[in-house]
Chain A
Amino acid sequence: MSSIPEELLYAETHEWVREREDGTLLVGITDHAQAALSDVVYVELPSVGDSFEAGQGFAVAESVKAASDIYAPVAGTVVEVNSQLEEAPELVNESPYELGWIAAFQPAGTPEGLLDAAGYCKAIA
C-alpha cells in the first residue's frame, strides 16, 4: 500500500501539492509514483523563475531504465528548487513527501482539477 497523506492535494499524473504559509506551493511526486519509477538516479530540475502551464512538464525523474516527466500540477512560476536532489536523487524514493520535494511554485491562479487524498487513492486503485 502506498502512502497518501490526507493534508495534500494530488494531480492524476502523480504529483502532490502542499500549500505553504506564504501561499507558494511545494510540489513532489507521490509514493505510488516513486515506487513505480523505482531507483531514481537523476532529477533534472527547472530553474528558479521558469514559468509553466498546468500539465506542462517542469522536471524529469530518471531511473536506471526510464525517464519520466513530472508535470506542473498548477500554472505558476518556480520560486525554489530542491537542489539537494542534485547530489541525492534517491531522496525522491526515500522521502517522497518531505525531503524529496522537487520545486516550489508561485501559483498563477487558484489551482484547479486537483484531487484530495481519497480521490487520488481511487485514481490509482
Chain B
Amino acid sequence: MRHVHSVISIESRPNGFAVQRGAVAMHHTPLYERHVARGARLVEFAGWEMPLQFKGIIAEHRAVRSAAGLFDVSHMGQLFVRGPQAAEFLARMATWDLARLAAGECRYCHILDEQGRILDDVIAFRLAADELLLVPNAATTVRIEAWLAAHIDDFDATLENRSAELACLALQGPDAPRLLQEGLGLAVEPFRVEHHGELLVSGTGYTGGAGCEIIVPAADAPPLWEALLARGAVPCGLGARDTLRLERGMLLSGSDFDGSQTPLEASCEWVVDWEHDFIGRDALLAQREAGGYAVLQGVQLEQRGVPRPGCAVFHAGERVGTLTSGTLSPSLGTGIGLAYLSLTPGAEVAVEVRGKHLSGRVVRPPFQ
C-alpha cells in the first residue's frame, strides 16, 4: 500500500495542456525506453520521469478493477537489513513489532521520528530469520536510509540500499493471480512473500484489490514486463495508481502525511503495535492520552465536481480543513478526497472547488 505523489496537480492553465517538467536531470527506471516506445505520457514524480498514463487513466483504472493492470513501480526503494538482530533493529524503528513477523510474511507500517510524526509508510518483508527488506517511497528512500543508518550501530545488523539495481512491477486486479500463474508459474497469498532465485514476489499492492508486486534485478524487468503484457495485463501509469489507492483510502506519502502528522492523526492506529518499544511510542501515547486532535477522514461529494488537493473544506460556514488528496472516483463517478478534520462520519461539509462550494459528507474510507 502507498506511494505515488499527487503527481500531478498540474493545473494546465492559460493555453497550457503541457506537462510541466523539472529542469534537473531525472531518474529513469529500467522500463523507461519501453514506456516511451509505447507512447506513455510521462510526468516527473519525486525526481523520476514516470508514466502518468498509457491509454488513459479511466481505462487503466477500470482494467485494474475488472481484470489486471501492470505498473512500473521501480522508483520505490529497497533497503535490505541483515544480521542476527535485523528484526529487533527494525522493530525498534517501526510502529509494528517486526520481530514477530515470521519468514515469508509482509507488513505495512510506519517509521516515526521521536515526536511520533510519520517519516514514511513502508512495507516490511521478512525474507529470513536474519534478513528483512524495507520498501519506502521513492521520495523518502534516501531519508529513511539515513534514519536507519543513524540508529543501526546499537544492533548487530547491516543496511544495504539496493534501490538502484532492482526493479519492481505491480500486477494488480482480479485476474492478477491467474496471470502470475500463467506467466511465471507462481502463486502468492496476500501479505506473503516468496523468494524464487533472484525474484521476490509478494501479495502486496496499492490498489486495494488482489494482486502482487514482483521485485527483480533491473536487467530482468523488461522481459518480465513484456511477458505479463502479452498475457493480457494492461499497462498502467501513476494517474490510475493514484485514483485506485484513493478510492480505498490508502495514504499518499508527501501529500496525506508530510512529516508533521502522527499515525493517530492519519487514522492509522491499526499500524501501531503498542506492545513493543519503538521510536515515537512515548509521543504517540501522550497524544492518545491528551486527545483532541483532527484525524484524516474521507470526504465524498454529493454535487458534481472534481475536488483537488488543496481545496478548502467547510463545515457550518467555517473553514475546518484542507483536502490532502482529491479526485473524481472513476469507479463511483463522485468526487472523493481526504482531509484532517475534527468531525465524525456523516457530518455535512462543503468543499470549495474553484470558487464554488460543493456539498458533501464526511465518510469512512474505503469510499463506496
Contacts and interface: CB of A to CB of B under 8 A. Distances in A.
Interface of A: 12-14, 33, 36-39, 41-42, 44, 60, 62-69, 71, 86
A68 B17 contact: yes
25 contacts: A13-B14, A33-B17, A36-B12, A36-B17, A38-B41, A38-B53, A39-B56, A39-B57, A39-B58, A42-B305, A42-B328, A44-B354, A62-B306, A63-B57, A64-B57, A64-B328, A65-B7, A65-B8, A65-B9, A65-B10, A65-B239, A66-B8, A66-B10, A68-B16, A71-B15
A44 to B, nearest CB: 8
Contacts, number: 66
Interface of A is mostly: mixed
Given A33-B17, A66-B11, A69-B14, A38 B56 contact: yes
Interface of B is mostly: loop
B52 A86 contact: no
Given A64-B57, A64-B328, A14 B239 contact: no
Nearest to A86: B304
Contacts of A41: 58, 306, 328, 330
A68 B327 contact: no
A37 B17 contact: yes
B21 to A, nearest CB: 15
B330 A67 contact: no
Interface string B45-76: 00000001100111100000000000000000
A58 to B, nearest CB: 14
B57 A67 contact: no
Given A14-B15, A41-B328, A68-B17, A60 B354 contact: yes
Nearest to B52: A65
Contacts of B13: 68-69
B57 A65 contact: yes
B350 to A, nearest CB: 17
Closest 7 CB pairs of A and B: A36-B17, A13-B15, A39-B58, A64-B57, A62-B306, A41-B328, A65-B8
Q: How large is the interface on B (under 10, 10 to 19, 20 to 34, 35 or more residues)?
A: 20 to 34
Q: Which residue among B17, B56, B58 has the maximum number of chain A CB atoms within 10 Å of its CB? A: B17
Interface in B1-42: 7-18, 41
A12 B17 CA distance: 12
B8 to A, nearest CB: 5
B308 interface: yes
A66 B41 contact: no
A67 B354 contact: yes
Q: Which residue among A39, A63, A65, A71 has the maximum number of chain B CB atoms within 10 Å of its CB? A: A65
Contacts of A65: 7-10, 52, 57, 239, 327
B92 to A, nearest CB: 39
A37 B306 CA distance: 15
Interface in B80-106: none
A68 B52 CA distance: 17
Contacts of A86: 304
A62 B328 CA distance: 10
Contacts of B324: none
Nearest to B6: A65
Nearest to A62: B306
A100 to B, nearest CB: 16
Given A14-B17, A37-B12, A65-B327, 15 more contacts: A12-B15, A33-B17, A37-B17, A38-B41, A39-B56, A41-B328, A42-B305, A44-B354, A64-B58, A64-B306, A64-B330, A65-B9, A66-B11, A67-B11, A68-B12
B78 interface: no
B202 interface: no
